[in-house]
Chains A and B, each alone.
Chain A
Amino acid sequence: MSTDFYNISILPFSGIIIKLCRAYTNSQEDFEDYYQEVCLQIWRSKENFREESQWSTWVYRISLNVCLTLLKKKKNNIQHFVSDSVMDEETENNYAFSDESLNLLYDAIRKLSEIDRAIIMLYLEEKPYKEIADIIGTNPNNIGVRVKRIKNRLKEILDGKIN
């Protein structure tokens, strides 16, 4: 990969990738693997960028699609989608941030379904419902309802944990 491409086109948007990869992984090792893979796939797909959307939205789409279909090797060598295994395993290193509340919020987000995770991440990034619907490929009218439902679910999970 050209260092220039990474520094100019990916690094300024690394925040998006980091936030998303954290939601789909449960250890530092997995997170770093996912981050690298997303960067690699962005670089490989750069010819598909048509300037019909913002670069940040395009980066978000690739990051999300890659995270949804990445395979992780578990210790027993069986391949799984990582998001699937997050639910089953004891988390190894959830405390990636120094902010305790943010760590707890991430823990709660990881308990959601993969698509709900994507929706709430986009919502928290203050993307309008129309853009969330475009990225996911769904109907904008249903996004508002789903966001409300997800927020209630997160409140239930976080109930009493954060002041």
Chain B
Amino acid sequence: MEKSIENIWKEGFLKSDALVAPKINNLYTKKSIHIIDKFKRMFRINLIAIVAFSFIFLVVSFFIGIPLTGVILFITLSVLVVINKKLLNGLESINKSVSSYEYLKTFNEWIKKQVAVNKKISTFLYPVIFASIILGFWFEKTEGTPLKERLISEIIIGFPDTYLIYGIPLIAIIILFLILGLLAFFGGRIYMWDVNIIYGRVFRKLEELMADIESLRS
């Protein structure tokens, strides 16, 4: 006669070797391998790196004569840091001792929110970085004359028929806006592509777990 699974379970665990706890060493100092802790570490490292870079670049930009680029980048990256610090706080508050549904739902919502927010930021971030670089060099002075004046005078001499708007060649304005548009269009997509390569499988697994529990709730 076949044993029931209940009996296999009970009888199997009656044996003394069945439940021997493994030896644990330096648990307190051990680096957590949990996904939420990994996200926290990644966020902290990224934020520290962004703050450090924006400060250093701000100082350097004054020395190399493109302070406008430094200031715009500093402000933009500061906004990025503030927004992501708020997202990190949301991650800190996820409670692992609630029901699995509540826990997975909170975590899933956090992931979706952070992806949505950073996708939106990426749409603006790349064009702003590009625009700040252009503006920085546009007003950069070499031997007392801004680059824009030197550049425009050379264009006018070389191409006297060039159509100018507020002293800027129309073709340059069109190319600039085209690049800004492309960066805005692809910024969010590049971010999503990056995220999917690294965490795509994790996201899909979370969705599967949620769907399984949802089917039990209905």
Which residues of A approach B to under 8 Å, CB–CB? 1, 6, 11, 14-15, 17-19, 31-33, 35-37, 39-41, 43, 45, 48-49, 58, 61-62, 64-66, 68-72, 78-81, 84, 97-99, 101-102, 104-105, 113-116, 118, 124, 134-139, 142-143, 146, 151, 154-155, 158, 162-163
Contact = CB atoms under 8 A, between A and B. Distances in A.
Contacts of B208: 113
Contacts of B96: 41, 45, 48, 61-62, 65-66
Nearest to A34: B33
Given A71-B35, A163-B2, A98 B15 contact: yes
A18 B5 contact: no
B100 A11 contact: no
29 contacts: A6-B24, A6-B27, A18-B21, A36-B27, A36-B30, A37-B33, A40-B30, A40-B32, A48-B95, A61-B98, A65-B96, A65-B103, A71-B38, A72-B33, A79-B201, A97-B18, A101-B8, A102-B9, A102-B13, A102-B18, A114-B209, A134-B99, A135-B99, A136-B213, A138-B101, A138-B216, A139-B216, A151-B5, A163-B3
Interface core residue of B12, B98, B217 (most chain A CB under 10 Å): B12
A97 B12 CA distance: 8
A39 B96 CA distance: 13
A137 B2 contact: no
Contacts of A116: 212
Most buried by B among A48, A104, A115: A115
Interface string B25-66: 001101011111010000000000000000000000000000
Nearest to B21: A14
Given A69-B35, A101-B11, A139-B216, A61 B2 contact: no
A15 B24 CA distance: 15
A1 B28 contact: yes
B19 A18 contact: yes
Contacts of B18: 97-99, 102
Contacts of B19: 14-15, 18-19
